Structure 1
């Protein structure tokens, strides 16, 4: 039996190493221009923003290319954003001409109240303390974005992707999250007063301390969600 367990462990380690070698790497650079040029240098795919997708990451080659372009980089999902701060005017200008990809953008404290940013890609973006009240973010991709303490009151987030998004302490009162995907999102201490969460996916979400007063949870998926049952007393289900 011990030999069988040891063999299974060896196979498991080997499989994991194989998967790691064959998984594409997504690299994020501190400038869009650098990402575009380094993608060509490394025979990778530029994502139109500050990301480069490569089949095999040779860190020596990446560091050499980054040094030539005087750029810094990290893997997507790293704890810090490396992209320089984007101004509100720049976001609106680029969105107006059809650009939708703003992955990893730094928009801390940005004022984007009442703007239309439907279908925008702000995954991994830094949006803490941002004012997005009354904004149209329907179908937006906010996967793993930081929206802690942001003002999203009255915002349209219907069908938005908010998987693993940090919304702790955010104000979402009267917002529409109808059909949104909030699986594994952090919604602790969030103001959900009057929010429409009809058919939303809240599986594995952290909802502890959230205010559900007059919140519509009809058809919502709460499988595995962390919450205090008494908090749901004033929600509509």
Structure 2
């Protein structure tokens, strides 16, 4: 069911330009999508063909909820418990768009192909986790522990990885275009064939990092930082 919702979400975005609204609870988003004929994303987002702010304000007051447009910071999703993520994933759910997992401990978790786009994962412990082919588009992973994490073929476009620990991470063929990787620790990381076009890599630690075949077109790099990288 969640995969069907995710597919619908993506197809709507491709066909039309709608307003994307975020609410401070999953329940509120689900109810308001029904009340205002919107498209619920399975988490705390709702796509509206045309946003009537008066109607949204009225609905949120009835539900004692808060809302904002995507990209704003007023509506913060209640933090999702680690056990809940693992339980729902084990049941086949993969769509966790916008999930609030700040400081979550998911070390060694097997979460391949999970959709955590726009998720809040700052300071989270994802060390040794399997996130291969995961969708982390525009996710906030600032200062997260991703050491030894499998991120091969993961989608990290526009993700915020500022000061994240990526030492020994497997990032082969990962898409990191336009991602912020400033001051990250990439010691011994494998970025073979990764797409780093337009990424911000200033201040990154590339010691023994494998950049063979990586696309660095337009990337922001301090050339001296690449001295110890494997190319």
Q: TM-score, normalised by structure 1?
A: 0.88
> 1:162-201 residue pairs with structure 2 within 5 A?
162-201=156-195
Q: Counterpart of 1:218?
A: 212
SS, match of residue 21 in structure 2: strand
For residues 229 and 105 of structure 1, do their structure 2 counterparts lie closer, same or farther at Cα, with a shift above 3 Å needed?
Answer: same
Structure 1: how far apart are the matches of 2:214 and 2:62? Answer: 51
- Contact 2:23–2:75 at 8 Å: present in 1 too? no
Structure 2: how far apart are the matches of 1:188 and 1:120? Answer: 25
Structure 2: how far apart are the matches of 1:199 and 1:129? Answer: 27
Q: Counterpart of 1:33?
A: 27
Deviation sequence 1:118-147 (CA, Å, 0-9, x none): 111111111111100000111111111111
Q: Counterpart of 1:67?
A: 61
Are 1:141 and 2:141 an aligned pair?
A: no
Structure 2: how far apart are the matches of 1:172 and 1:186? Answer: 13
Shift of 1:80: 5.3
Structure 1: how far apart are the matches of 2:141 and 2:156? Answer: 10
Q: Counterpart of 1:161?
A: 155
For residues 204 and 80 of structure 1, do their structure 2 counterparts lie closer, same or farther at Cα, with a shift above 3 Å needed?
Answer: farther
- Contact 1:77–1:124 at 8 Å: present in 2 too? no
Q: Over aligned residues, Cα RMSD in angstroms?
A: 1.2
Pick from 43, 50, 54 the counterpart of residue 48 of structure 2: 54
Structure 2: how far apart are the matches of 1:131 and 1:119? Answer: 18
SS, match of residue 92 in structure 1: helix
- Contact 2:67–2:74 at 8 Å: present in 1 too? no
32-41 or 73-82, larger mean C-alpha shift: 73-82
76-85 or 102-111, larger mean C-alpha shift: 76-85
Structure 1: how far apart are the matches of 2:74 and 2:66? Answer: 12
Structure 1: how far apart are the matches of 2:184 and 2:74? Answer: 23
Pick from 200, 211, 215 the counterpart of residue 206 of structure 1: 200
Deviation sequence 1:154-182 (CA, Å, 0-9, x none): 00011111111111111100101111111
Bigger CA radius of gyration: 1
Shift of 1:81: 5.4
Q: Counterpart of 1:121?
A: 115
Q: TM-score, normalised by structure 2?
A: 0.90
SS, match of residue 100 in structure 1: coil
Count of equivalent residues: 216
